[in-house]
Amino acid sequence: MDITGKVAVVTGAGQGLGRAYATALADAGAAVVVNDMNDETAAAVVDAITAAGGRAVAEVVPVGTTESAQRLVDRAVNTFGRLDVMVTNAGVLRDRVLWNMSDDDFDTVIQVHLRGTFTCVREAARHFRAQGEGGRVILAGSPAGQRGNFGQTNYAAAKAGIVAMARTWAMELGRAGVTVNAVIPNAATAMTETIPFLAPYVERMEQGLPVPSVVRRAASFGTAEDVAGLIVYLASDASAGVTGQAIGIGGDRLSLWSHPTEIRSAFRDGGWSADVIAEAFESTVAEVPETFGIPAPKLPELQPQEA
C-alpha cells in the first residue's frame, strides 16, 4: 500500500509497537515524526528509517501536556509541510491491585495514556480542520480496556476511555473528513510480557524463536510487526469509510470489537422496586450474566526443547 505524500506522528515510537508502526508507515511512503521520551531510542528509529530510504525526524518529549502535543504537530508541519495522520501509541504501566495502587500509580498512567491521547488528538484535529483535507486518527486501545484485567485499574480505565473517545471523535470530526479508530493490538511487548499465560511466548520471541501457529490463532498473539499493517491501512485512503471502530489484531487474527450495547431487557408496569428487581433479576435480564476479564485461551504447553 502506497501512502507517499502523507505525514504521520507516532507517539511512543522508540520501541515495541510504536517502532513497528513508524517503520511500516515510512516503508509505505509516509514521512514520520518519531516521538519518544528517550532520545537514543528515538534517534535509532529515525536512523533505521532513513537508512532504508525513508523520511523521519525525532521529537523527544513526554506526551500528556498541551505543550508537548503542540510540539509534535509543529514538528510535522515545520519539517514536512503538513500533517495527515496522528497515531497515539505512547504508554506506561504501573500495575498494582486496587488496594495497593497509589495516587501516583493511577495518575501517571492516566496522564500518559488518556490525557496524552486527548491532547495530541485535539491539536491534530485543530490542524486537520484548518488544513481542510481530512485526516486520520489512530488510537491505541487494549484487551484490558475492553474486558478488564487484574491489577490494571489505571491501565484498563485509560484504555476503555480511549475507545470511548474514538467513538465520540468519529462523530465530531466526520464532517471534516477525519476518521478516528482504535486499534486493539496483541503482540509481544513490554505491555504483554507481564501476562502469565503469554510470558513463555514473549521469552521465546526474545530468543528469536517463532510463535507456534496455534498460539498466533488461539491467543491472537504475535510480533509488533504483525500489527503494523493495520496502522498503514487505517492511515491510507483505502480506509476512508472506516471510522468509530475498535479493531483487534494480533498474530494471525483480525477482528472487530462490538460497542457496549444492551443485550437483553425486561419491562414492568409501574417500574422496578428493589424487591421486585431482587426477585426477577436472575430470571430476566441476568439469566446469562456477562463475563469479565481477559480469558486465557487453551494453549499447548511448551516442551523443554521449545522453551
Average pLDDT over residues 248-266: 95
Structure confidence at residue 205 (pLDDT): 79
Q: Is 134 exposed, middle or buried (0-12, 13-18, 19+ CB in 10 A)?
A: middle
DSSP structure class, residue 112: I
- Catalytic entry in 21, 68, 159, 236: 159
Whether 21 is catalytic = no
Q: Is residue 253 part of a domain?
A: yes
Q: Is 6 a catalytic residue?
A: no
pLDDT category at 194 given cuts 50, 70, 90 is low
Assigned domain for 18 exists = yes
pLDDT tens sequence across 127-159: 999 999 999 999 999 999 999 999 999 999 999
Instruction: Kindly state the greatest CA–CA separation across the chain.
Output: 71
The span from the CA of 75 to the CA of 83, in Å, is 9
Q: What is the CATH number of the domain that holds 243?
A: 3.40.50.720
- How far is residue 80 from each of residues 56, 149, 191, 201, 226, measured CA to CA in Å? 9, 40, 32, 40, 28
Range of the domain at 61: 7-257
Is 291 part of any domain? Answer: no
Structural domain contains residue 301:
no
Pick from 64, 183, 61, 59: which is nearest to 112 by CA? 64
Q: Mind spelling out the 3-state secondary structure of 19-75?
A: HHHHHHHHHCCCEEEEEECCHHHHHHHHHHHHHCCCEEEEEECCCCCHHHHHHHHHH
pLDDT per position as a tens digit, 212-242:
888 888 888 889 999 999 999 999 999 999 9
142 catalytically annotated: yes
Exactly one of 21, 155, 201, 233 is catalytic; which is it? 155
Average pLDDT taken over every residue of the chain: 93
| Number of domains the chain contains | 1
